């Protein structure tokens, strides 16, 4: 693939614009939050062309946005954010992605690295055994016939009602882990067939479980409100999504949208941007099905968090209270939501697509938990398995500029095949081990694909988000144990 050579205007050190004059059909400019260094990599591929293509979508307002971790996706770039007017705008399943509500959940503990490290191998083994992972993994949960519909309607609440975790976990989950307006009758039988045996599984690819240690605190007061109290404190991070259920629901509705485009006379430069008016039957049905898949993902992370707590307590010989296993937050980074934003001085409802982007609402926003009303919504940014992860908070600037959105991770720079050619899984394992990171995996090849070298430096990514003001860095952690599916 050849480098991108379109026009890119520097707005300031962290903002770059693709003028809508670049391609006839662009309704708004593209705006990329990035640094010169990160952009040099981005320009090697066609992600910026995808930013321009997203600007074609009917009803898009302000900008076709890209977060600092932007990389080449399919249709939308990964790291893409687009907001549409409800009156004449569209919703696009490609703007959410196949892994609907792929997201991140972070739990704190009262324990320190000194207490956990001597038992880290035992802990990773227990976590690996207690949380089903890997390709085609099937879970420990046996749903009754038709019970999947309850999971799709209730999300994380279904899990809590069935003994997986606690009620107050829901308070610190985006949407309380239960998106309203989910209609299970609009999710296909095929999607339910794929999702039923996979509930409570991590999956494979870039999904993981991580035992991490806080190694930098940038804002002590804010960190403390979240329960991040000291350097060396152990954290537990879960990254996964809606499994086959979400993939199938996305497939089903992309096909619906491809037909709807003809019906509504919409033309797009890439079929993967297939869409339908938000107010059409197709648009509404997709949103209702997408919310089901989002709820499934929240139920999934809720069950996994329960088993993580179980394994942790067993190995460390502590009860849950003594171990202080409280949730910090759970965020979605592949989702479309109807939200209120200010546009030209007026409050309007918009359909915000976040494809590899995290919501970053500021202090005082009504949609964030009361617990965080004073500090802003926690934003969880996992890095690659050899480097750091970050906790940030949302800001007013994000509300003004990025529809309350920021980055979601490191962002790939090398293809999976290129990563495998460069390194063998065994070598990755050995190197991580020599740096004190214990890895448990079912696939050595999968491990090579996810090596640090395949990713952008997450620190460079979050620094752009911080310096541009669309979120604020609070703390950093480094991994001491990783489970890769």
Partner 1 sequence: MCYDNKKMRRFQLIEHTADTGLIAYGHNLAEAFANAAYGLFSIITELDKVKEIESQEVTVNAEDTESLLFKWLNDLIYTFEVKHYLFKRFDIVEFAKTSLKATCWGEKYDPSRHHIKIGVKSATYHLLEVDEGKNRVQVIFDV
Q: Give residues in contact with partner 1 (CB under 8 A).
A: 1, 45, 71-75, 78, 94, 97-99, 134-136, 190, 193-194, 203-205, 244, 247-248, 250-251, 254-255, 258-259, 270-272, 274, 412-418, 443, 445-446, 449
Q: Judged by CB, which is closer to partner 1: 168, or 415?
A: 415
State the CB neighbour count (10 A cutoff) for residue 115: 14
Distance CA 99, CA 22 (A): 31
Pairing of strands 276-277, 208-217: unpaired
Query: Which of 78, 76, 106 lies closest to 380 in space, CA to CA?
Result: 106
Q: How far is the CB of 342 from partner 1 (least distance, A)?
A: 33
Cβ contact 330:306 at 8 Å = no
Token pair of 393 as six digits: 């908070």
Q: Judged by CB, which is closer to partner 1: 95, or 227?
A: 95
3 state SS of 367: coil
Q: How far is the CB of 316 from partner 1 (least distance, A)?
A: 31
Q: How far is the CB of 468 from partner 1 (least distance, A)?
A: 23
Q: How far is the CB of 439 from partner 1 (least distance, A)?
A: 18
Burial class (CB in 10 A: 0-12, 13-18, 19+), 50: buried
Cβ contact 412:484 at 8 Å = no
Cβ contact 78:48 at 8 Å = no
Distance CA 18, CA 10 (A): 9
Q: Is the dihedral of CA 325, 102, 48, 53 positive or negative?
A: negative
- Enumerate the H helices of 402-457 as residue ranges: 416-422, 425-434, 444-449
3 state SS of 440: strand
- Enumerate the H helices of 69-188 as residue ranges: 113-116, 120-130, 148-154, 156-161, 167-171
Pairing of strands 438-441, 378-381: unpaired
Q: How far is the CB of 71 from partner 1 (least distance, A)?
A: 5
Cβ contact 391:410 at 8 Å = no
Q: Judged by CB, which is closer to partner 1: 414, or 431?
A: 414
Token pair of 225 as six digits: 């409100």
408 is catalytic: yes
Token pair of 406 as six digits: 């920021």
Q: Find the catalytic residue in 207, 239, 333, 408.
A: 408
If you ran DSSP here, which 8-state letter would residue 164 be given? S
Which residues carry out catalysis?
Answer: 408
């Amino acid at each position: 693939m050849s480098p991108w050579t379109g026009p890119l205007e520097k707005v300031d050190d962290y903002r770059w614009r693709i003028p809508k004059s670049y391609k006839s059909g662009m309704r708004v400019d593209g705006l990329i939050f990035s640094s010169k260094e990160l952009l040099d990599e981005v320009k090697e591929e066609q992600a910026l062309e995808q930013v321009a293509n997203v600007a074609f979508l009917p009803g898009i307002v302000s900008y076709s946005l890209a977060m600092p971790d932007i990389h080449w996706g399919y249709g939308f770039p990964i790291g893409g954010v687009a907001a549409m007017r409800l009156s004449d705008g569209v919703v696009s399943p490609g703007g959410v992605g196949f892994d609907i509500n792929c997201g991140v959940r972070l739990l704190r503990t009262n324990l320190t690295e000194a207490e956990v490290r001597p038992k880290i191998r035992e802990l990773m083994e227990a976590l690996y055994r207690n949380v089903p992972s890997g390709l085609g993994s099937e879970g420990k949960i046996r749903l009754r016939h038709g019970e999947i519909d309850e999971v799709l309607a209730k999300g994380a609440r279904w899990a809590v009602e069935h003994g997986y975790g606690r009620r107050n976990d829901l308070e610190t989950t985006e949407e309380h882990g239960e998106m309203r307006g989910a209609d299970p009758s609009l999710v296909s039988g095929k999607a339910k067939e794929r999702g039923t045996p996979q509930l409570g599984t991590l999956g494979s690819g870039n999904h993981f479980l991580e035992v991490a240690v806080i190694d930098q605190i940038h804002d002590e007061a804010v960190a403390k409100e979240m329960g991040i109290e000291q350097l060396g404190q152990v954290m537990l991070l879960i990254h996964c999504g809606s499994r086959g259920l979400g993939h199938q629901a996305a497939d089903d509705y992309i096909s619906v949208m491809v037909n709807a485009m003809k019906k509504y006379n919409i033309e797009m430069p890439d079929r993967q941007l297939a869409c339908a008016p938000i107010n059409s039957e197709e648009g509404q049905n997709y949103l209702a099905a997408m919310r089901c898949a989002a709820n499934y993902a929240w139920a999934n992370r809720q069950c996994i968090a329960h088993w993580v707590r179980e394994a942790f307590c067993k190995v460390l010989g502590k009860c849950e209270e003594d171990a202080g296993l409280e949730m910090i937050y759970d965020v979605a980074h592949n989702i479309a939501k109807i939200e209120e934003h200010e546009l030209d001085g007026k409050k309007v409802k918009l359909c915000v697509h976040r494809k590899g982007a995290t919501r970053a609402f500021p202090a005082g926003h009504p949609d964030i938990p009361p617990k965080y009303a004073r500090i802003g919504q926690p934003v969880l940014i996992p890095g690659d398995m050899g480097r750091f992860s970050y906790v940030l908070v949302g800001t007013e600037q994000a509300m003004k500029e990025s529809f309350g959105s920021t980055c979601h991770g490191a962002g790939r720079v090398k293809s999976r095949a290129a990563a495998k050619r460069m390194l063998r899984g065994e070598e990755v394992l050995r190197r991580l081990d020599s740096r004190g990171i214990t890895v448990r995996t079912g696939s050595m090849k999968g491990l090579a694909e996810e090596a640090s070298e395949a990713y952008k430096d997450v620190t460079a990514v979050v620094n752009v988000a911080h310096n541009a003001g669309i979120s604020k860095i609070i703390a950093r952690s480094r991994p001491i144990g990783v489970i890769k599916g």
